[in-house]
Amino acid sequence: MASQACYVRRVSARVLRGSCLCGEIVFEVDPPLARWVYCYCSRCRKATGTGRAANLYVAPQQLRWLAGADRVSRFDLPTARSFATAVCRRCGCPVPHPTRSGRELVVPAGSLDGHAAELPAVEHCEWESRAPWVER
């Protein structure tokens, strides 16, 4: 029994690796993943070019840049309390960035190269403001 519990802990503690589309930015994220959020708001639609953003949230110290940290371009939306995006300067791929308060780190799920062994339950945010063509 005890050894099985150890095994579960080890699997869920797997470090996640991520990268941008062109490959110049590479990073690692340490578990655990605090939140797993789909957001359907108009800002997330603009930022992603699709119907919803799929983001993981971790503490800022859980991220390590392995390459290309200087390639990250951040945009803070002036009219928003905290909305920001970060992309690779070369390929435009969304990459991790701290929230404006610095308390959390937003990790675009699509920038990860592997899959988390365990994901927190997904939160659907701003479902009421989704585009009419979006399906859950």
CB of 13 to Zn ion, least distance (A): 28
Residues 52-111 that bind Zn ion (CB under 5 A): 88, 90-91
**Cis, bond preceding 32 (omega within 30 deg of 0):** yes
Least Å distance, CB 21 to Zn ion, is 5
Stretch that binds Zn ion, among 7-15, 21-29, 59-67, 99-107 (CB under 5 A): 21-29
Residue 60 φ/ψ, nearest 5 degrees = -55, -35
Q: Is 44 in the site for Zn ion (CB under 5 A)?
A: yes
Residue-by-residue DSSP string for 83-126: -EEEEETTT--B--EE-TTSS-EEEEGGGBSS--SS-PPEEEES
| CB of residue 111 to Zn ion, shortest distance in Å | 10
